[in-house]
Amino acid sequence: MAENKRDYYEVLGVSKGASEDEIKKAYRKLAKQYHPDLNPGDATAEAKFKEANEAYEVLSDSEKKARYDQYGHAGVDPNFGAGGFGGGFGGFGGDFDLGDILGSMFGGGFGGFGGFGGGRQQNPNAPRKGSTIQTNVTISFEEAAKGCKKKVNITRVDKCKECSGTGAAKGTTPETCPTCGGRGQVNIQQRTAFGMMSTTRQCNECGGKGKIVKNPCQKCRGTGLESKAQTVEINIPAGIDDRQALNVSGGGNPGINGGPAGDLRVNVNVRPHPFFERDGFNVWCEVPVTYAQAALGDTLYIPTLDGKVKYELPAGTQPGEVFRFRGRGIQQLSSRNKGDQFVKIVVEVPKNLTSEQKDMLKKFNDSLPNKPKNNIDDGTTIGEEKRRFFDKFR
| pLDDT > 80? residue 41 | yes
Strand-pairing partners, residue 148, are 236
Q: Tell me the pLDDT tens digit for each residue of 336-393.
A: 899 999 999 999 988 899 999 999 989 988 888 876 665 544 444 445 555 555 555 4
**Straight-line distance from the first to the last Cα atom of the chain, in angstroms, rounded to the nearest whole number:** 66
Average pLDDT, integer, range 95-107: 43
pLDDT score at 88: 40
Q: Tell me the pLDDT tens digit for each residue of 136-178.
A: 999 999 999 999 999 999 988 888 888 888 889 988 989 999 9
Compute the distance between CA of residue 290 and CA of residue 345 in angstroms, rounded to an integer.
Answer: 10
Compute the distance between CA of residue 230 and CA of residue 253 in angstroms, rounded to an integer.
Answer: 12
255-279 b/e (C-beta count within 10 Å ≥ 16 → b):
bbeeeebbbbbbbbbbbbbbbbebe
| pLDDT > 70? residue 118 | no
Q: What percent of the chain has pLDDT over 90?
A: 41
pLDDT score at 123: 65
| pLDDT > 50? residue 67 | yes
Compute the distance between CA of residue 231 and CA of residue 226 in angstroms, rounded to an integer.
Answer: 16
Cβ-based neighbours of 201, under 8 Å, separated by 6 or more: 115, 121, 185, 186, 188
Residue 110's nearest CA partner among 120, 119, 100 is 100
Cβ-based neighbours of 331, under 8 Å, separated by 6 or more: 145, 146, 147, 238, 239, 281, 337, 338
DSSP 318-354: PTT-EEEETT-SPBPTTSS-B--EEEEEEEEPP-S--
- Cβ count within 10 A of residue 281: 18
pLDDT score at 386: 52
pLDDT score at 94: 38
pLDDT score at 314: 96
Cβ-based neighbours of 363, under 8 Å, separated by 6 or more: none
Average pLDDT, integer, range 232-259: 90
Is 56 exposed, middle or buried (CB count within 10 Å of its CB: 0-12, 13-18, 19+)?
Answer: buried
Q: Can you give the three-state secondary structure of 5-48, one letter per residue?
A: CCCHHHHHCCCCCCCHHHHHHHHHHHHHHHCCCCCCCCHHHHHH
Instruction: Tell me the three state secondary structure of residue 145.
Output: helix
- Cβ count within 10 A of residue 156: 19
| pLDDT > 70? residue 90 | no
Compute the distance between CA of residue 243 and CA of residue 270 in angstroms, rounded to an integer.
Answer: 7
Q: How confident is the model at residue 79 (pLDDT cuts 50, 70, 90)?
A: low
